[in-house]
């Protein structure tokens, strides 16, 4: 990847990380004082968990697009994109995520799917709470993985 495209990618990744951090701060704010019987707040927190994963998925799309990693099977593209980000593609790009991070994110992806498609169901406080915990666990792992990804790109740029 040439230096200009790499600089653009780094800027886009950093910009998306900033958005992820904003969503996470909102999530934490909403989850700071909620209770099982507060349906509106449970829904609001669930929406922020949904947004948190969606922002991370947008980060993965930025990386996939930069390296022309298209997903052929559109029926499973959310899962395939996540799985693809755990792969180091020799001569193309390093892995964006460790399998540990991807496993947590996959659980958040599944929750987001439920949130999007279970619009007639009442959200269970404890299920939402479990996903808040997963988001809290995933965030530092994601930040670590993305930094490692950028470090590898920087090293490869300095060798070119």
Q: Is the separation of the CB atoms in 79 and 109 below 8 Å?
A: yes
Domain count, the chain: 1
Q: What is the C-alpha separation between 41 and 39, in angstroms, rounded? A: 6
pLDDT at 92: 86
Residues in the chain: 160
Q: How confident is the model at residue 111 (pLDDT cuts 50, 70, 90)?
A: very high
Residue 89 phi, psi dihedral angles, 5° rounding: -105, 100
pTM above 0.85, yes or no: yes
Q: Average of pLDDT values for 58-76?
A: 79
Q: What is the C-alpha separation between 15 and 68, in angstroms, rounded? A: 20
Q: Residue 16 is part of a domain; what is its CATH number?
A: 1.20.120.580
* Domain region containing 141: 3-159
DSSP secondary structure, 35-73, as one string: -TT-HHHHHHHHHHHHHHHHHHHHHHHHHHHHTT---S-
What single DSSP character describes residue 76?
G
């Amino acid at each position: 990847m040439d230096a200009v495209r790499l600089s653009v990618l780094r800027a886009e990744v950093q910009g998306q990380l900033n958005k992820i951090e904003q969503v996470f701060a909102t999530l934490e704010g909403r989850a700071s004082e909620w209770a099982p019987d507060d349906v509106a707040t449970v829904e609001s927190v669930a929406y922020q968990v949904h947004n948190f994963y969606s922002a991370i998925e947008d980060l993965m799309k930025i990386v996939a697009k930069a390296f022309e990693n298209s997903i052929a099977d559109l029926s499973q593209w959310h899962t395939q994109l996540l799985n693809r980000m755990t792969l180091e593609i020799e001569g193309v790009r390093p892995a964006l995520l460790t399998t540990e991070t991807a496993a947590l994110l996959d659980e958040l992806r599944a929750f987001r799917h439920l949130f999007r498609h279970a619009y007639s169901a009442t959200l269970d406080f404890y299920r939402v709470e479990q996903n808040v915990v997963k988001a809290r666990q995933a965030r530092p792992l994601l930040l670590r993985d993305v930094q490692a990804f950028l470090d590898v790109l920087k090293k490869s740029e300095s060798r070119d």
